[in-house]
Amino acid sequence: MRKAAKLLTLVMALSLLLAAPALVSAKEKPVLLKVPVTFSTELPGLGSTIKWVSERIGTLSGGAIKMKVYEPKKLVAPFEILEAVSKGKVNAGYSMAAYWAGKINAAPIFSAIPFGPDASEYLAWMYYGNGLKFWQEMYDKNGYNVKVLLCGVIAPETSGWFNKEINSPEDLKGLRMRFFGFGGKVMQKMGVSTSLLPGGEIFPALEKKALDATEFSMPAIDKRLGFYKIVKYNYYPGWHQQASLFELLINKDTWNSMSKHQQMCLEIITRAATADSLAFVESLQAPVIQENVTKRGVINKYWSPEMLAAFKKAWMEVVEEEKKKDPFFAKVWDDLSKFRSQYEYWSSVAFLPRPEPKLK
């Protein structure tokens, strides 16, 4: 009898311990995050990352958080997501900060930076430098009522798709091209007329010859959008986006109303999603580049040292102009530059040299 009583006591104690998370969760008010997105969830690494989060956040949080993702234009137009989240029209949204460059001059620095950093260095600065702090500060200073979480990263993009071969800076002059972020300002200095279109609008613009060229993303993503059907010259390396970051925006009132447990669940899952997105997209690219040549008639090209030098020269001119007109950009750029100068010593001795380009 004594053994049976002890066993019963042990079972009851274990039951209480196992039930403890449920008891804690019962005190929380469940949150449903309605998340309009800038990119189709069918695009790997762009929209697929937030879909990955939405499929796991319910289990991770024990039902305290659920997420419903809305494809582009189904709930909020892609370029209106920041305003909609800030004003509480929706309580969350998924996009890239550079899409708000018309509202916030420095925003592209939290999406992609010409000539680096690459993904590992970018994440190091974000998580263990001042990157995330500045990202949130940017929204706060500009009056946006949002909490920003880094949620996804992809490695280099292609440098663009062109309707002709580009052999010199003069060949760029007069081209009409879709371009993203600070790289667009570089291309403008090279004599290119740039515009920023959502992914779904690029192919029709190429088809109607409203554009002569475009950049968008990595080979496996560009393939989905069919650029190769119209423009055959695909250039590398993606000097303008060696790494690209994505953001989950949450209305700050919604965020502040969450429990610490709910907030931590979102912080943990967005970090996990960032790691997963990088591994996922890196696994897809090589076969697509090769098939572009063998199956789709694409001509892969690698920029000459002279062209890369011209792009970098124009980029440094853009940097100086941005620093002069925007004190916040100057502060962030100086901090990032200091971080990179320290990181450069490590990277110069730690990593093997890159092999020569093998494009065919």
Q: Considering the domain boundaries, does residue 75 fall inside one?
A: yes
pLDDT of residue 356: 84
Find where tokens 């996990």 sit.
272
pLDDT of residue 357: 87
- Region for 70 from its dihedrals, namely left if φ exceeds 0, alpha if ψ lies in -120 to 50, beta otherwise: beta
Q: Considering the domain boundaries, does residue 54 fall inside one?
A: yes
Average pLDDT along the chain, 360 residues, taken 10 residues at a time: 38 39 63 97 96 98 98 95 98 97 96 96 98 98 98 96 97 96 96 93 96 96 95 97 97 98 98 98 95 96 97 98 97 98 94 84
Q: Considering the domain boundaries, does residue 360 fall inside one?
A: no
Q: Considering the domain boundaries, does residue 177 fall inside one?
A: no
pLDDT of residue 20: 41
Q: What is the CATH number of the domain that holds 72?
A: 3.40.190.170
pLDDT of residue 210: 96
Q: Considering the domain boundaries, does residue 140 fall inside one?
A: yes
Q: Considering the domain boundaries, does residue 353 fall inside one?
A: no
Q: How many domains does the chain have?
A: 1
Omega of the bond leading into 117 within 30 degrees of 0 (cis): yes
Q: Considering the domain boundaries, does residue 80 fall inside one?
A: yes
Q: Considering the domain boundaries, does residue 255 fall inside one?
A: yes
Domain of residue 275 covers: 28-153+242-282
pLDDT of residue 360: 67
